[in-house]
Chain A
Amino acid sequence: MLYILYSVAALFITLSIILSLYRIAKGPSMPDRVVALDLVGINLISLIAIVSLLLNTTAFVEVILLLAILSFLGTVAFSKFIEKGVVIERNRD
């Protein structure tokens, strides 16, 4: 019974990843696509948590933390690139 419940939750997450992929493909501007990619990262984190519940193992917990950090870094880098045109600025010398 709980297995079915977790499977339904995984199905919801998959559906929301598909919906945000539609926004990535269609999105009229660049920040739309970045927002949708951020949402895909968040959904992947929750999918990995559900998979570790389904398989009953804590081996994937590092993956959750790592994906959270990588998703945040990607969003920050993209927003700096959209705002200023460069990601890492050089100091004047």
Chain B
Amino acid sequence: MNAIEISKWIVGILVLFGALLNLISAIGIIRLPDVYSRLHASTKAATLGVMCILIGTFLFFSIVDGDINARILLAIVFIFITSPVGGHLISRAGYHAGVSLWESSIKDDLHTKKRKKQS
């Protein structure tokens, strides 16, 4: 078993792990109770999953085929920067549009801060 074979298996394990993380985040988006916890599932797990898959793709094409593909690296960096920003923006928009929290949640710091500013 030479080095290229071993690296192919590492790529396969990375891709399978990333796909499993994506599936877990989709299950979280089905099962969790409100928007904010759904964001908590989808933003983190799906970002790590897609980064694992892209790192696996980059390793495959750079080790097996021998071409260093800068566009995949650029895509990894771009997703790592923009995905949490998108999650933050949509949760902020949802809060200001009046989407209610889960009824069992007991702490809402932004709400108390806003009320203190008004009074």
Contacts and interface: CB of A to CB of B under 8 A. Distances in A.
Interface string A1-31: 0100110111011011101101100000111
Interface residues of A, number: 49
B10 to A, nearest CB: 11
Contact of A46 (B19, B27, B96): B19
A52 B64 CA distance: 14
A75 B19 CA distance: 22
A83 B93 contact: yes
A78 B49 contact: no
A44 to B, nearest CB: 10
Contacts of A43: 22, 26, 46, 50
Q: Which of A8, A10, A78, A82 has the most CB of B within 10 A?
A: A82
18 contacts: A8-B16, A9-B15, A9-B19, A12-B22, A13-B23, A16-B23, A16-B25, A17-B26, A31-B35, A35-B42, A39-B42, A43-B46, A46-B19, A49-B57, A61-B72, A61-B75, A65-B75, A82-B90
